[in-house]
Amino acid sequence: MNKSKTYLPIVALALLLVAGLTAMSVNTPADTKWIQLFNGKDIKDWTVKIRTHDLNDNFANTFRVEDGLMKVRYDGYTQFEQQYGHIFYKKPFSYYLLQVEYRFVGEQCPGGEGWALRNSGAMLHSQDPKTILKDQNFPISIEAQFLGGNGKDPRTTCNLCTPGTNVVMADTLFTPHCINSKSQTYAGDQWVTANFIVLGDEEVHHLVGSDTVISYFKPQIGGGSVAPFDPAVKIDGKLLKEGYISLQSESHPIDFRRVAVVDLSSMKGDAKKLKETVTRALLEK
């Protein structure tokens, strides 16, 4: 594993002070253009998959757009009954910067597990939703887990969870399901800005604002926490070079007001340009 080409410059980027960022030219080049995945009007560019339901059955209007926000709601549920849901953007990405602005609101759906209180996430490098089995709980993916404060315990956000996947950390294959980031706790209904630098099958960095809170390498298929699954899709050891981006429904209401990416594919292998492009994008969203 070669960390020298991109890892140090990208991590150094996240540690730059705002003063350092603003010292850069404000003339953003065309290749830093943000692509708005959520248009603030509808979810026509997205595919819904909810456990025990067919593809594109948006059961009980779980995923909806109101007041310019993408909302996850459970007013049509009697009990949650492990009906985990995901909404997928229509095309896959490989090298990109993803930005998600989210907030937890309201009360958890009756029947939601205790661990799912103020819990959601963005799934990175996810399997194609068309290949997810009807009763499959989670897509094979890398999960950037969102957690909100419960009023009594520290609860970091932008954690790493690995449904049907593994990653490399400190030159060792990491096989446990979840590991906490080093973020602070975000309580109440406040908006949180999460950024993810995803560089194919090489490395991934989770940021809260401009602060790097966890990094890892060589995302690949493997491990558990996904059931059932199609063995033709879950090929353990296969590196994840690309995949779909999806947002979760795990029983607690959540709002998303921004879901956007900068496509970094043209900068593959060019650490200097990657650093400059990501820095400008975070400054000038």
Q: Within the chain, where are the H helices?
A: 7-14, 18-22, 271-283
pLDDT value, residue 265: 95
pLDDT value, residue 29: 52
**Is residue 67 pLDDT above 90, yes or no?**
yes
Give the tens place of pLDDT for each residue, 235-277. Answer: 999 999 999 999 999 999 999 999 999 999 999 989 999 999 9
Q: For residues 38 and 65, what is the distance between their CA atoms, to the nearest angstrom?
A: 10
pLDDT value, residue 10: 52
Residue 207's nearest CA partner among 243, 156, 169 is: 156
User: Which region holds residue 108: left if phi is over 0, alpha if psi is between -120 and 50, else beta?
Assistant: beta
Query: Region 136-153: what's the mean pLDDT?
Result: 96
pLDDT value, residue 25: 46
The mean pLDDT of the chain is 91
Q: For residues 248 and 233, what is the distance between their CA atoms, to the nearest angstrom?
A: 21
pLDDT value, residue 17: 32
Give the tens place of pLDDT for each residue, 51-66. Answer: 999 999 999 999 999 9
pLDDT value, residue 21: 44
Give the tens place of pLDDT for each residue, 22-46. Answer: 444 445 455 679 999 999 999 999 9
**Is residue 16 pLDDT above 50, yes or no?**
no
Superfamily of domain 7-18+31-283: Exo-inulinase; domain 1 (2.60.120.560)
**Is residue 19 pLDDT above 70, yes or no?**
no
Query: Region 200-210: what's the mean pLDDT?
Result: 96
Least confident segment among 15-29, 89-103, 145-159: 15-29
Domain boundaries, the chain: 7-18+31-283
Residue type, 238: K
pLDDT value, residue 128: 98
DSSP tag of 52? T
pLDDT value, residue 31: 60
Q: For residues 59 and 50, what is the distance between their CA atoms, to the nearest angstrom?
A: 7
pLDDT value, residue 27: 52
Pairing of the two strands 85-89 and 63-66:
unpaired
pLDDT value, residue 97: 98
**Is residue 13 pLDDT above 60, yes or no?**
no
Q: For residues 153 and 254, what is the distance between their CA atoms, to the nearest angstrom?
A: 20
Give the tens place of pLDDT for each residue, 244-253. Answer: 999 999 999 9
Residue 199's nearest CA partner among 273, 258, 282, 130 is: 273
Mind giving me the DSSP string for 175-238?
-SSEE--S-----TT--EEEEEEEETTTEEEEEETTEEEEEEEEEEE--SS--S--TTT--TT-
